Amino acid sequence: MIKGVLFDMDGVLADSEQYICKAAIMMFEELGLRAVPDDFKPFVGTGENRYIGGVAEKYGIRVDIDKVKARTYEIYQTIIRGNLKPLPGAAEMVNRCRNLGLKLALATSADRIKMIANLNEIGIPVISFDAIITGLDVVNKKPYPDIYIRAADELGLKTAECLVVEDAISGITAAKRAGCRCLAVSGSFDSTLLSEADWICDSLENVPEEALNW
């Protein structure tokens, strides 16, 4: 029986991909590298270390990942101000799960600084979640299952009692490897690429009833 819901953040609660991509491109421009959005696509959902580091590797440049990530977040926090919005049905889904008496965790590959910035901007309070796990809390990032195993543990639940809400291929793989059921929200990836999930919806406004009743 479902007892907990583990939410990914980027692409699930907020459509932040375009902004972190723009921020990373602007950061790379400061280093003299002209990256393009498609460069980042293979690294969506894997955390900013890999998101930025993977592109640096592609172009054969060496970077101080902590330094370039910090600069990227500086740019990111500026460009999301007044622009980042919650995805349709996101806040309602969090409230719905809370009203059903389910335990909630936020499990994001992003660093805490980005997580706080996003939640503040989209108006979903941090206290909405019983546990928060970020990319800095686990060694192995998605598609490894560590973040969802840790999130379930923080809630005092078995992974088999948890539903993961994801949008990225790597995140869905992580959820299934952890032993969770998974609801995929299409948008970041075509729904044909999300078949590993137990359920797929086009928006959190259209969550299949069975995803929250098992």
pLDDT digits (tens, 9 = 90+) for 98-142: 999 999 999 998 889 999 999 999 999 999 999 999 988 999 999
- Please give the mean pLDDT across all residues of the chain: 95
- Name the residue range of residue 113's domain: 4-14+85-212
3-state secondary structure of 14: strand
Distances (CA, A) of 163 to 58, 80, 195, 199, 203: 35, 29, 16, 10, 16
Query: Burial, 81: exposed, middle or buried (Cβ in 10 Å; 0-12, 13-18, 19+)?
Result: exposed
Whether 191 shows a pLDDT value over 90: the answer reads: no
90 and 34 together in one domain: no
The residues annotated with a catalytic role in the active site are 8, 10
Q: Examine the domain organization and report whether 130 and 204 are in the same domain.
A: yes
Domain final residue pick, 80, 111, 126: 80
Q: Identify whether residues 91 and 57 lie together within a single domain.
A: no
Band of residue 46 on the pLDDT scale cut at 50, 70, 90? confident
pLDDT value of residue 97 = 98
* Structural domains counted in the chain: 2
What number of other Cβ atoms are within 10 A of residue 13's Cβ? Answer: 28
Percent of the chain with pLDDT over 70: 100
* Contact (Cβ atoms closer than 8 angstroms) between residue 184 and residue 167: yes
- Domain termination residue (choose one: 31, 56, 80): 80
Check whether 96 has a pLDDT greater than 90.
yes
49, 36: one domain:
yes
Under the banding of pLDDT at 50, 70 and 90, the label for residue 84 is very high
Same domain for 197 and 121? Answer: yes
Contacts (Cβ under 8 Å, ≥6 apart) of 84: 14, 15, 16, 19, 118, 121, 122
Helices 48-58 and 65-80 cross at an angle (nearest 10°) of 110
Percent of the chain's residues with pLDDT above 90: 89
Residues 153 and 116 in one domain: yes
Give the separation between CA 15 and CA 187, rounded to whole angstroms: 9
143 with 43, same domain?
Answer: no
Q: What is the pLDDT of residue 18?
A: 93
pTM (predicted TM-score): 0.88
Clarify whether residues 182 and 106 are in a common domain.
yes
Task: Give yes or no: residues 90 and 70 share one domain.
Answer: no
Comparing CA positions, the residue from 41, 8, 31, 4 lying closest to residue 135 is 8
> What's the pLDDT band for 178 if we cut at 50, 70, 90?
very high
Q: Which residue has the higher pLDDT, 41 or 181?
A: 181
207 and 103 in a common domain:
yes
Same domain? For 70 and 127 the reply is: no
Q: Average pLDDT, stretch 192-204?
A: 96
Confidence label for 188 from pLDDT (cuts 50, 70 and 90): confident
Q: Residue 48 to residues 103, 112, 165: CA-CA distances in angstroms?
A: 27, 11, 20
Stronger pLDDT, 109 or 156, i.e. the higher one: 156
Confidence at residue 45, expressed as pLDDT on a 0 to 100 scale? 75
Angstrom distance (rounded) from CA 155 to CA 205: 25
Q: For residues 125 and 202, state if they share a domain.
A: yes
Q: Answer with the one of 80, 99, 129 that is the final residue of a domain.
A: 80
pLDDT at 203 exceeding the cut of 80: yes
Question: Does residue 93 surpass a pLDDT of 90?
Answer: yes
